[in-house]
């Protein structure tokens, strides 16, 4: 077998900077995983497209098919790839039902499957406060796009979101563009701006609604809310979305699965 720390996706040597892929001591399948991830990040295979077969990839990287399979299995577990029986392996996309609400863990108390509706309240550009710029890895004063929206269960407001995005990545994102797009917001980001959300971290705390928040969420001032601050990352662990949400939990609860 060939040591993959010196093999690029096209088979060319990359020994000048092998540490960008994986440490030399990492298992071979992890090095293959790094190369596949780099191809995904570069856009070699677009969201929704099929990637080459395991046999083709094994020939390309000069490793066994089992090594490729193990790398693909991990990427599928991380929701970067999707296996379809009898059809092949595809690049995951936020258009798929199982990924549309991947980061939203709010569940109705009555057990039904809620499909929350979106209502856009605003989309504007502003200079990034120092704290937000730091979280997103930007220079203080860099341009942010702020999106404010409601998620509703029927006519009842459930979530008030303030979403902050790096302006340089989301040039051309406007309220009109968001209102005209009928699919999931993350699918818009993926399809129109080439930004895919890979993973997220959250901070959760209990808060009391102030007067303005109470008005928007249709609750009394001082009502208990769940404050959820989420930082979402794209490939290369690059932060690309800061989201501050206020959740009503009088008829919903936050559900997480611990492994």
Residues 128 and 67 in one domain: no
Which of 91, 123, 152 marks a domain boundary? 91
The total number of structural domains that make up the chain: 2
Sheet with 117-127, edge to edge strand ranges:
117-127, 143-153, 156-166, 238-247, 224-234, 199-208
Residues 10 and 130 in one domain: no
Residues 81 and 22 in one domain: yes
Residues 112 and 69 in one domain: no
**Residue 96: CB partners within 8 Å, gap ≥ 6?**
82
Average pLDDT, the chain: 86
Residues 54 and 24 in one domain: yes
pLDDT computed for residue 256 by the predictor: 79
| CA 3 to chain centroid | 32
Q: Is residue 49 part of a domain?
A: yes
CB 242 within 8 A of CB 132: yes
Q: Which domain holds residue 184?
A: 97-254
Residues 77 and 101 in one domain: no
Place of tokens 């690049």: 91
Read off the CATH number of the domain in which 60 is found. Answer: 1.10.10.10
Which of 91, 106, 132 marks a domain boundary? 91
pLDDT computed for residue 99 by the predictor: 52
- Summarize the confidence of residues 207-223 as an average pLDDT: 97
Which of 41, 59, 91 marks a domain boundary? 91
pLDDT computed for residue 12 by the predictor: 37
Residues 50 and 103 in one domain: no
Higher local confidence (pLDDT), 246 or 194: 246
Q: Is residue 147 part of a domain?
A: yes
3-state secondary structure of 95: coil
Residues 75 and 133 in one domain: no
Please say if the pLDDT value at position 66 is more than 50.
Answer: yes
- Summarize the confidence of residues 164-193 as an average pLDDT: 93
Higher local confidence (pLDDT), 243 or 116: 243
Q: Is residue 139 part of a domain?
A: yes
CB 221 within 8 A of CB 228: no
- Summarize the confidence of residues 10-37 as an average pLDDT: 63
Residues 130 and 53 in one domain: no
DSSP for 206-243, written as a single string: EEE--HHHHHHHT--TT-EEEEEEEEEEEGGGEEEEEE
Please say if the pLDDT value at position 159 is more than 70.
Answer: yes
Residues 80 and 134 in one domain: no
Higher local confidence (pLDDT), 20 or 31: 31
pLDDT computed for residue 172 by the predictor: 94
Q: Is residue 143 part of a domain?
A: yes
- Summarize the confidence of residues 146-159 as an average pLDDT: 95
Residues 46 and 104 in one domain: no
């Amino acid at each position: 077998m060939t040591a993959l720390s010196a093999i690029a996706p096209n088979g060319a040597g990359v020994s000048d900077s092998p540490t960008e892929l994986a440490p030399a001591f990492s298992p071979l399948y992890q090095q293959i995983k790094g190369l596949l991830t780099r191809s995904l990040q570069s856009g070699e295979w677009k969201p929704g497209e099929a990637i080459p077969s395991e046999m083709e990839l094994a020939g390309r990287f000069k490793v066994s098919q089992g090594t490729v399979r193990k790398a693909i299995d991990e990427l599928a577990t991380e929701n970067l790839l999707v296996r379809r029986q009898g059809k092949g392996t595809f690049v995951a996309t936020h258009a798929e039902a199982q990924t549309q609400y991947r980061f939203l863990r709010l569940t109705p108390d009555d057990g039904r499957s809620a499909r929350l509706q979106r209502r856009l309240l605003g989309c504007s550009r502003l200079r990034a406060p120092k704290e937000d710029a730091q979280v997103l890895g930007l220079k203080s004063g860099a341009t942010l796009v702020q999106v404010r929206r409601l998620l509703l269960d029927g006519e009842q407001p459930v979530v008030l979101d303030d979403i902050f995005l790096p302006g340089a990545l989301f040039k051309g994102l406007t309220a009109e563009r968001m209102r005209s797009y009928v699919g999931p917001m993350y699918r818009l980001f993926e399809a129109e701006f080439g930004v895919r959300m890979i993973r997220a971290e959250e901070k959760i705390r209990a808060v009391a609604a102030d007067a303005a928040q109470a008005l928007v969420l249709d609750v009394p001032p001082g009502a208990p809310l769940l404050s959820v601050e989420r930082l979402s990352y794209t490939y290369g662990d690059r932060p690309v979305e800061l989201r501050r949400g206020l959740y009503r939990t009088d008829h919903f609860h936050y559900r997480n699965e611990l492994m």
